[in-house]
Amino acid sequence: MSTSSSSSLVSVVVPTYNRGDCIERTIDSALGQTHKNIEILVVDDGSTDDTRQRIEWRYGLDARVRYIHQDNRGVSAARNTGLQDVRGEFVALLDSDDVWMPWKLELQLACLDQMPEAGMIWTDMEAVGPGGETRNPRYLRTMYSAYQWFTFEQLFSKSCSLPTISVPLPEPAARLYAGDIFSQMIMGNLVHTSTVLIRRERLEQVRGFNEELRHSGEDYDFHLRTCRAGPVAFVDVVSIKYLKGRADQLTQSDYTIHRARNFLRTIAPILAQDSDRIHLPPHMIAFVLADAHNCIGEAALNIGENIEARKHLLQSLRYRPWQPREAGLLLVALFPARYARQLRATYRQVKRRLLRGDKARDS
């Protein structure tokens, strides 16, 4: 690897599906980087809107933008299609409704020069609404609850001040961190995909996204395997605007059960295969397993899958016996689905009345 990455080619993979209304803004944010040596691979996962026409009209003569169309197979397959075709020494991932700050790649390349052992780097993000309004100026630690377990000093073994780049940064006093965080990633995802820059050699170790994890959870699986392969880095600045509130986002509540199932499907084999590499106290591992089973159980109960709900709620209680709420859900799951829904509705009504009574007494 060269001593400086300032002239390196960065390949940007942008998967998209029916996002013609915002795809140009996303691509423009990549083309507007202060690091100019980039290629953008837009992988259209079978869009039925005007995505193709917009890209051909606006970027058809721009050699930096390559448009790839495929039948609809999901976001993981779209990302993998792009990853198979990248030419750069570094690869960035950008979802088609997110927007980068113009200095993002330049800063991350400079940080990776400063932390050569790190195979990947990510950042914080700002959450914005459909109208561009700020909803949370630092959303990473809100979106990813695993941060509640660790400070940055507990996560990373090294830190330093930010390197100098060609443009002034909005947060010059922020810090760069690096280290091996494979164990800590067992508690849940810490990495947001659109903020990531990864070295090509690390990507070749990780290989790509698991296409069997449909609807949700493929990001966590990918980032966990990336951290398993070696040290990574985090720079504590906001480098993207993350759009919240679109109906087609995989974080919507309809995908709760898929997300919960895929989380357990991801960590269970890792815990079995890499127990000697995972340095977490037993109570933390018990907590994350109990929580995973509980999430599946409650989501299954909500959609009337009572057999699955009972199985996972019981397993959750085996990992953490003192969970009164989960014990109550297990009791509800013993009834046929139509009665279980009525019991839960009655319980919520009684709870609301009790809360109103408490508030009335306090006033």
Q: Residue 189 in contact with residue 219, Cβ under 8 Å?
A: yes
Q: For 274-321, how does the pLDDT look when each residue is reduced to its tens digit (9 = 90+)?
A: 999 999 999 999 999 999 999 999 999 988 899 999 999 999 999 999
Token pair for residue 274? 């890499």
CA–CA separation, 305 and 299 (whole Å): 9
For the chain, the distance separating the N- and C-terminal CA atoms, rounded to the nearest angstrom, is: 67
Structural domains in the chain, sorted by start: 10-253 (3.90.550.10), 281-362 (no CATH)
CA–CA separation, 85 and 80 (whole Å): 9
- The count of other CB atoms within 10 Å of the CB of residue 35 is 23
Q: Among residues of the chain, what percentage have pLDDT more than 90?
A: 80
Q: Can you spell out the DSSP letters for 288-311?
A: HHHHHHHHHHHHHHHTT-HHHHHH
Query: Smallest Cα–Cα separation from 243: which of 28, 102, 94, 104?
Result: 94
Q: What are phi and psi of 179, to 5 degrees?
A: 160, -175
CA–CA separation, 357 and 259 (whole Å): 36
CA–CA separation, 332 and 337 (whole Å): 9
Query: Smallest Cα–Cα separation from 101: which of 243, 239, 234, 242?
Result: 239
Q: pLDDT-based confidence at 2, cuts 50/70/90?
A: very low
Q: Residue 72 in contact with residue 45, Cβ under 8 Å?
A: yes
pLDDT, average across residues 21-45: 97
pTM of the model: 0.90
Q: For 167-197, how does the pLDDT look when each residue is reduced to its tens digit (9 = 90+)?
A: 999 999 999 999 999 999 999 999 999 999 9
Amino acid code (one letter) for 193? T
Write the Ramachandran bin of 245: left for phi over 0, alpha for psi from -120 to 50, otherwise beta: left
Helix (H, G, I), strand (E, B), or coil: what is residue 44?
A: strand
Q: Residue 316 in contact with residue 308, Cβ under 8 Å?
A: no
- The count of other CB atoms within 10 Å of the CB of residue 2 is 9
Q: Among residues of the chain, what percentage have pLDDT more than 70?
A: 90
25 Cβ contact partners less than 8 Å away, ≥ 6 residues apart: 99
Q: Considering only CA atoms, give the Rg of the chain.
A: 22
**Mean pLDDT, rounded, of the chain:** 92
Question: Could you give the dihedral angle defined by the CA atoms of residues 200, 204, 210 and 215, in that order, rounded to the nearest 10 degrees?
Answer: 0
- Strand ranges in 89-174 using DSSP code E only, listed in sequence order: 90-93, 99-100, 120-128, 134-136, 158-161
Token pair for residue 195? 């903020």
> Is residue 98's pLDDT more than 70?
yes
CA–CA separation, 121 and 137 (whole Å): 20
Provide the β-strand partners of residue 128.
134, 243
Write the Ramachandran bin of 15: left for phi over 0, alpha for psi from -120 to 50, otherwise beta: beta
